[in-house]
């Protein structure tokens, strides 16, 4: 049995075309196309990242980022401001709050005692504290859960038996407020205590 090339049957021989290398210019075109595609992808990602900083507010940019003028931010310790992304998008409406100089919060207007439960409307609650007024929130769930849930200015529950308010991520610059509607931070559920049946009655001014 032969082991040399010329000893192999003719039908096993490779044709002359198999010896032709791929033209160099085709390799260059392929590399150039890959580099161009990568450059376009980088430019698109970079543009989406800086878009909230260059558009004129108010505007809703790709990525569900709502850009608001800084004038929409309420003064420190003043009543929160209700914001709706669009007239049709009331399900993601929120309260924009400024409870302290270094805090800007965006609380969703819908809330449930448990994640995934039937939601209730959240309203602003004015409490009497130390001879003055303090702003908080209340979820009126009397029709669904038979009680009212109260929260302080930072969305913390006034009772350890239920979870806090859900909120969106917020960033603030010199001339604008950016609320990321795609990043809803859900407060964790409280499992260490039973849900009380009493309805707290905060004082109204």
Q: What would the pLDDT profile of 3-60 be if each residue is shown by its tens digit?
A: 555 566 666 665 555 555 666 777 788 888 888 888 888 877 777 778 888 999 999 9
The stretch 151-177 carries a mean pLDDT of: 93
pLDDT confidence of residue 9: 64
| Sheet strands (E) in the chain | 59-61, 65-69, 81-83, 94-100, 103-108, 110-111, 120-129, 132-141, 147-151, 167-172, 176-185
Neighbours of 118 (CB within 10 A): 11
The pLDDT value given to residue 195: 45
Instruction: Give the β-pairing of 65-69 and 120-129.
Output: unpaired
**What is the average per-residue pLDDT within 63-71?**
94
> How confident is residue 103, by pLDDT bands cut at 50, 70 and 90?
very high
Residue 131: band (very low, low, confident or very high) from pLDDT cuts 50, 70, 90: low
Name the H helices within the chain.
24-54
Closest by CA to 111, choosing from 71, 63, 68, 145, is 145
Answer for the pair 96, 174: CB distance below 8 angstroms, yes or no: no
Q: What is the mean pLDDT of residues 72-99?
A: 92
Q: Higher model confidence: residue 73 or residue 48?
A: 73
User: Whose CA is closest to 186, among 171, 170, 158, 164?
Assistant: 164
Inter-residue contact 80 to 94 (CB < 8 Å) = no
Structure pTM?
0.71
Angstrom distance (rounded) from CA 58 to CA 186: 25
pLDDT score, position 180: 96
Greatest alpha-carbon pair distance for the chain in Å reads 108
Indicate the average pLDDT of the chain: 83
């Amino acid at each position: 049995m032969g082991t040399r090339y010329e000893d192999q049957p003719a039908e096993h021989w490779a044709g002359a075309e198999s010896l032709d290398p791929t033209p160099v210019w085709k390799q260059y075109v392929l590399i150039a196309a890959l580099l161009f595609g990568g450059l376009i992808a980088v430019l698109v990602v970079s543009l989406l990242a800086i878009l909230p900083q260059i558009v004129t507010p108010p505007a809703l940019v790709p990525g569900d980022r709502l850009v608001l003028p800084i004038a929409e931010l309420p003064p420190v310790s003043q009543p929160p401001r209700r914001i709706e992304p669009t007239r049709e998008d009331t399900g993601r409406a929120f309260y924009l709050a400024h409870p302290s100089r270094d805090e800007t919060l965006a609380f969703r207007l819908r809330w449930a005692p448990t994640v995934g439960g039937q939601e209730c409307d959240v309203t602003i609650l004015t409490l009497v504290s130390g001879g003055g007024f303090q702003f908080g929130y209340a979820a009126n769930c009397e029709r669904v859960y038979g009680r009212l849930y109260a929260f302080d200015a930072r969305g913390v529950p006034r009772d350890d038996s239920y979870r806090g308010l859900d909120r969106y991520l917020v960033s603030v610059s010199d001339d604008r407020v950016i609320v990321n509607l795609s990043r809803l931070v859900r407060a964790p559920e409280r499992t260490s205590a039973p849900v009380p049946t009493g309805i707290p009655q905060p004082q109204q001014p």
